[in-house]
């Protein structure tokens, strides 16, 4: 099994504290007089043509090492006990080593709703194998250009990526989504992927885990790129033209239920958490982690009540204010 690289990701993801989180520059306008009782609030959501009970999920993280295997079992236990989706880390480690069992979480957690993940540099035939072996509800295809560029052993050829995108859209037997890894998907990339057949995106923006930081800690010397990419709120604002024609999901720096709600207000169908959940299962006994996640559901209902929203889709109508770094000018806004 591959050990060092995957374990480094976990170690440095837990160590990093982003200097800026865009959710802090967004404020929601509350409603003092609601139309609903608390027990009328409905947390269910829909994306990729499927119904889900809760609008948040454990996003792609690990697998491919002993530590990764242990973490995957804990994440699976947490997800199964709370009824949320778990997405495994990139399945490529298991494709390289058929004896790798670190992704096999369904055996002990048969009621788990599972997604799996693969890099865009992998030919779609490898994606088909991942789907056959994991039987996931959906497949995330990740783009991680800056991470590859910063890794000494990273990919240097990118011309095949668009072709691979088209193949993934065409050939997968389960729904696919395109996903960033914490640098924020840009609108042009989403439009290209849309034209090639993708109908779902996890914009995964900056504000939480930084793979630039991780690679710099692993021996790189380009720490000036640690804050590369767009923040999660910025990426969601930029993604607005996609909201009506595709399912946009959000992740990156989500710390608690209020951050989740802000993503849903900006049009996300669901919200992914990686580092926050990693920290939870690494620092707390599983029973406490389960209680925390179940508490998040109550918190979401409470906040939705205070915003006068009965359904997740109502959140899209909530007014908000943007401060600080989100008070920006785009090139097209600047009048000469
Ligand atoms: C990740 N992430 C990730 N993403 C992906 O698409 N495939 C992968 O294999 C991994 N591996 C991985 C390992 C670890 C330890 C972490 C913390 C993260 C990225 C992840 O899914 C997410 O996009 C970012 O981490 C941003 O979210 P957070 O961590 O800020 O909530």
d(C-alpha 268, C-alpha 151), whole Å: 31
pLDDT for the residue numbered 336: 56
Overall pTM surpassing 0.75 (yes/no): yes
pLDDT for the residue numbered 30: 97
Atom index in ligand 1 nearest the CA of residue 60 equals 21
Q: Residues 6 or more apart from 61 whose CB is under 8 A from it? A: 9, 10, 71, 75, 88, 89, 274, 278
Q: Calculate how far, in angstroms, residue 61's C-alpha sits from the geometric centre of ligand 1.
A: 5
Q: Calculate how far, in angstroms, residue 53's C-alpha sits from the geometric centre of ligand 1.
A: 23
Query: What tens-digit pLDDT sequence spans the chain (336 residues)?
Result: 445 899 999 999 999 999 999 999 999 999 999 999 999 999 999 999 999 999 999 999 999 999 999 999 999 999 999 999 999 999 999 999 999 999 999 999 999 999 999 999 999 999 999 999 999 999 999 999 999 999 999 999 999 999 999 999 999 999 999 999 999 999 999 999 999 999 999 999 999 999 999 999 999 999 999 999 999 999 999 999 999 999 999 999 999 999 999 999 999 999 999 999 999 999 999 999 999 999 999 999 999 999 999 999 999 999 999 999 998 767 677 665
Q: How many CB atoms lie within 10 A of CB 51?
A: 8
Contact between 116 and 132 under an 8 Å Cβ cutoff? The reply is no
Q: Calculate how far, in angstroms, residue 309's C-alpha sits from the geometric centre of ligand 1.
A: 30
Distances (CA, A) of 279 to 2, 140, 213, 284, 303: 22, 22, 17, 8, 24
Q: Which of 209, 271, 273, 278 to mutate to test the pocket of ligand 1 (most atoms within 8 A of CB)?
A: 209
d(C-alpha 24, C-alpha 21), whole Å: 6
Q: Calculate how far, in angstroms, residue 272's C-alpha sits from the geometric centre of ligand 1.
A: 10
pLDDT for the residue numbered 108: 95
pLDDT digits (tens, 9 = 90+) for 171-213: 999 999 999 999 999 999 999 999 999 999 999 999 999 999 9
Contact between 44 and 51 under an 8 Å Cβ cutoff? The reply is yes
pLDDT for the residue numbered 107: 94
Atom index in ligand 1 nearest the CA of residue 205 equals 26
pLDDT for the residue numbered 4: 81
pLDDT for the residue numbered 327: 86
d(C-alpha 136, C-alpha 106), whole Å: 10
Structure tokens at 55: 């609008």
């Amino acid at each position: 099994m591959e050990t060092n690289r995957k374990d480094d990701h976990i170690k440095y993801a837990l160590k990093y504290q982003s200097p800026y989180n865009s959710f802090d520059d967004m404020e929601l306008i509350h409603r003092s007089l609601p139309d609903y009782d608390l027990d009328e609030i409905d947390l269910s959501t829909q994306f990729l043509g499927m119904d889900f009970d809760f609008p948040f999920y454990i996003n792609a993280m690990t697998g491919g090492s002993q530590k990764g295997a242990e973490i995957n079992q804990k994440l699976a236990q947490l997800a199964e006990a709370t009824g949320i989706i778990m997405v495994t880390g990139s399945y490529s480690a298991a494709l390289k080593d058929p004896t790798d069992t670190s992704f096999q979480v369904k055996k002990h957690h048969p009621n788990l709703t599972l997604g799996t993940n693969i890099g865009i540099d992998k030919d779609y035939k490898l994606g088909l194998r991942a789907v056959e072996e994991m039987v996931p509800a959906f497949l995330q295809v990740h783009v991680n250009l800056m991470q590859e560029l910063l890794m000494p052993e990273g990919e240097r050829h990118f011309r095949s990526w668009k072709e691979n995108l088209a193949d993934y859209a065409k050939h997968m037997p389960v729904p696919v989504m395109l996903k960033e890894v914490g640098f924020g998907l840009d609108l042009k990339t989403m439009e290209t992927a849309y034209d090639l057949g993708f109908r779902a995106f996890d914009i995964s923006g900056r504000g939480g885990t930084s793979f630039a930081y991780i690679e710099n800690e692993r021996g790189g010397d380009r720490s000036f790129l640690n804050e590369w990419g767009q923040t999660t709120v910025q990426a969601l604002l930029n993604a607005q033209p996609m909201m009506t024609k595709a399912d946009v999901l959000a992740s990156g720096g989500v710390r608690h239920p209020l951050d989740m709600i802000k993503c849903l207000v900006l049009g996300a169908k669901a919200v992914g958490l990686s580092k926050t959940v990693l920290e939870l299962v690494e620092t707390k006994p599983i029973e406490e982690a389960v209680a925390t996640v179940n508490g998040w559901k109550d918190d979401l209902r409470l906040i939705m009540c205070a915003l006068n929203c009965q359904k997740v889709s109502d959140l899209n109508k909530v007014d908000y204010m943007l401060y600080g770094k989100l008070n920006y000018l785009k090139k097209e806004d600047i009048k000469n």
